[in-house]
Structure 1
Amino acid sequence: MPVSTSTVRTTNGSKYLQQLCKHWSHKFAVEFDPGHGRIPFNDPVELTLKAGETTLVLTLTALEQGQLERYEAVVADHLKRFAFREELDITWNS
């Protein structure tokens, strides 16, 4: 199963984690607290999030590489919208 990870430098990791999880909670069975989150998308693709003091670690798992690439873009786009006050470097590593 393909996996992709991004470690995003930010002091607002917990805030963004919670915003992403709340945003998708109306469509998916999301689980989260201030430090950890899990979003099981339908395809099946899953995003896990872990907030630290200076980072937000995003991990995507998918059945196929094409799904992974699609969700990398979707997650990055949403995160950048929530973090419009800061310039985030979201680099995915497969």
Structure 2
Amino acid sequence: MTVRVARVPTHSASRYLQQLAKHWSHKMEVSFSEQAATIAFPNGATLDLRADSETLDVRLAVPEDSDVVRMEEVVASHLDRFAFREAPLTFEWRAV
């Protein structure tokens, strides 16, 4: 697995986390609360989100045979869609 993380500055982290989890729960296995979410993609990737009052912490684990950059773009673009008032959000992805 390739693991990438980003700390996204926003005061609406919990709201965006919940919106994304609800949105993807129709297509994927999702568990979430106001402060945390885990989303399992069909390709074997997993997305973990953690919200606090200042940031949304994002952890993306992608199988070696998948396109990591594309998965980062999918996550960022979907979160930006929910954060349209402050989009684009700042994602500085880094390897773990």
Match of 1:71 in 2: 71
Whichever residue aligns with residue 13 of structure 1, its letter is A
1:93 and 2:94 aligned: yes
Q: Alpha carbon RMSD of aligned pairs, Å?
A: 1.1
Q: How far apart, in 2, do the equivalents of 1:69 and 1:55 lie? A: 22
Cα contact 1:45–1:67 (8 A) shared by 2: no
Deviations 1:5-60 (CA, angstroms, capped at 9, x unpaired) = 01000010000000010000001110000000000001000000000110000100
Match of 1:7 in 2: 7
Q: How many residues align?
A: 94
SS in 1 for 2:8: strand
1:56 and 2:56 aligned: yes
Cα contact 1:37–1:50 (8 A) shared by 2: yes
Q: CA deviation at 1:69?
A: 1.6
Q: What TM-score do the two structures reach when normalised by structure 2?
A: 0.92
Q: Which runs of 5+ in 1 are unaligned?
A: none
Q: How far apart, in 2, do the equivalents of 1:67 and 1:46 lie? A: 13
Q: What TM-score do the two structures reach when normalised by structure 1?
A: 0.94
